[in-house]
Amino acid sequence: MDDTIFLLLAQDGITNGAIYTLLALALVMVFAVTRIIFIPQGEFLAWGGLTMAALEAGSFPGIAWILLGTGAIAFAMDLYDAGRRAGRGRSAAHLARSAAWNLGYPAVLAGVVWVLPLGALPLAVKAALTLALVVPLGPMVYRIAFQPVAEASVLVLLIVAVALHLAMIGVGLLIFGPEGSRTSPFSDAMLDVGTMQIGGHTLAVIAASAALIAGLYLFFGRTLLGKALRATAVNRDGARLMGISPAFAGRLTFLLAAFIGTLSGLLFAPLTTVYYDSGFLVGLKGFVAAIIGGLGSYPLAAAGAVMVGLLESFSSFWTSAFKDVLVFTLIIPVLLWRSIASHHVEEDE
């Protein structure tokens, strides 16, 4: 191995590591606030990438129908809840807001997408449309699948997450079809640095990840909403006594998680072909990174993600057949070390 190959492999590993970082951060965040191990995180990646591909092909993205349908289910559940709790005030305003978000927004957006000349739009507009189409599914999914069982044990939430993952895989196959797609990169530019070339897209991926990490840092550190989420993560009951609704915290977390997932999909799709079921394996690597961070530490998870990316890149050079084996085996020493280094706290059920 010479220097050029080493640098290329490192560049490749860091690019993929940046994407795993995004997924790992989302997993850590969702787990901290809601105690959900969010298996379907990767599905948002796949849906984001494939929606972008559909927009690039100039066809009406099937995800708009899913958004309409999911919104309708979420609203129906709100309506049912409101009916049960009738007469306890502020339900009318609550319902109106639910109708606006779950029915109005998808309908307006679907109308806009229907009218726009999709193929001719600039890249940035398509990316924004993709985010607008996929991200709202996050809070809706939380409303439908997790809010009714928000107080359940971690195991129940995990099972619900697995069920949701399987459902989303099926829906993904239905709307995107079995074939994969690849989108055009955000930048075709090639930068010559010394002996090596850095692709413009590589820089875009790393910049987007860095920006998002900084954004999250500011959000959690400086804004009231971010602090509310942190408070919920530390102590749900205490946060509720301070007037932070756990349902609201959950929806907000899922909004962020879906945003991160979709964004990573936009970054990932130009690197490789994305399939309706691509998300799981990529999400799993993000999960390995999150585990390295003990599902609790953002910086450790990010470091773990870069490590996974580099390990993957170098192991595919030396023994490509055992690449995934090596990456997933990494979790064993990490778990051993964590179980020895940290004292175990029984979760009270």
Partner 1 sequence: MKVHQRLALAAVGLTAALAAGPAAADITIGVIASLTGPAAALGAETRKAVALFPPTIGGEKVNVILLDDATDPTSAVRNVRKLISEDKVDALLGPNLISTATAMADVANAEGVPMVSVAPLDVTGDKRTFVFRSEPSADLMVQRIVEDMVANGAKTVGFIGFSDSWGDLLLKALTRLTDGKIRIVATERYGRTDPSVQAQALKVIAAKPDVVFIGASGTPAAMPQITLRERGYKGRIYQSHGVTSKEFLRVGGKAVEGAVLPVGPVLVAEQLPDSHPAKATGTAFVKELEAKNGADTRSTFAGASWDAWLIVQNAMAAALKDKIQPGTPAFRTAVRDHIERTDKLVGTNGVYSISGADHAGYDPSAIVLVTVKDNQWRLLK
Helix (H, G, I), strand (E, B) or coil at 255: helix
Minimum distance from residue 312 beta carbon to partner 1 (Å): 8
163: contact with partner 1 by CB under 8 A: no
Q: How far is CA 14 from the centre of its chain?
A: 19
Strand boundaries in 159-242, DSSP class E: 190-193, 196-199
Query: Of residues 182-201, which lie at the interface with partner 1 (CB under 8 A)?
Result: 182
Q: Which of 28, 66, 271, 308 binds partner 1 (CB under 8 A)?
A: 271
33: contact with partner 1 by CB under 8 A: no
Helix (H, G, I), strand (E, B) or coil at 36: coil
Minimum distance from residue 334 beta carbon to partner 1 (Å): 21
Helix (H, G, I), strand (E, B) or coil at 293: coil
Indicate the Cα dihedral angle 201, 328, 8, 271, nearest 10°: -20
Q: Which of 112, 211, 242, 281 binds partner 1 (CB under 8 A)?
A: 281
Instruction: Specify the residue, 130 or 313, whose C-beta has the smaller distance to partner 1.
Output: 313
Instruction: Specify the residue, 15 or 102, whose C-beta has the smaller distance to partner 1.
Output: 15
162: contact with partner 1 by CB under 8 A: no
User: How many residues at the interface with partner 1, by CB under 8 A?
Assistant: 32
Q: Which of 58, 83, 111, 170 binds partner 1 (CB under 8 A)?
A: 170
Residue whose structure tokens are 């959000």: 219
Question: 24, exposed or middle or buried, with CB in 10 Å at 0-12, 13-18, 19+?
Answer: buried
Helix (H, G, I), strand (E, B) or coil at 152: coil
Instruction: Specify the residue, 31 or 275, whose C-beta has the smaller distance to partner 1.
Output: 275
What is the C-alpha separation between 187 and 202, in angstroms, rounded?
Answer: 9
Question: Do the beta carbons of residue 134 and residue 258 sit within 8 Å?
Answer: yes
Question: Do the beta carbons of residue 308 and residue 17 sit within 8 Å?
Answer: yes
94: contact with partner 1 by CB under 8 A: no
Q: Which of 120, 222, 320, 332 binds partner 1 (CB under 8 A)?
A: 320
For binding to partner 1 (CB under 8 A), which residues are involved?
A: 5, 8-9, 12, 15-16, 19, 170, 173, 177-182, 268, 271-273, 275, 277-278, 281-282, 313-314, 316-317, 320-321, 323-324
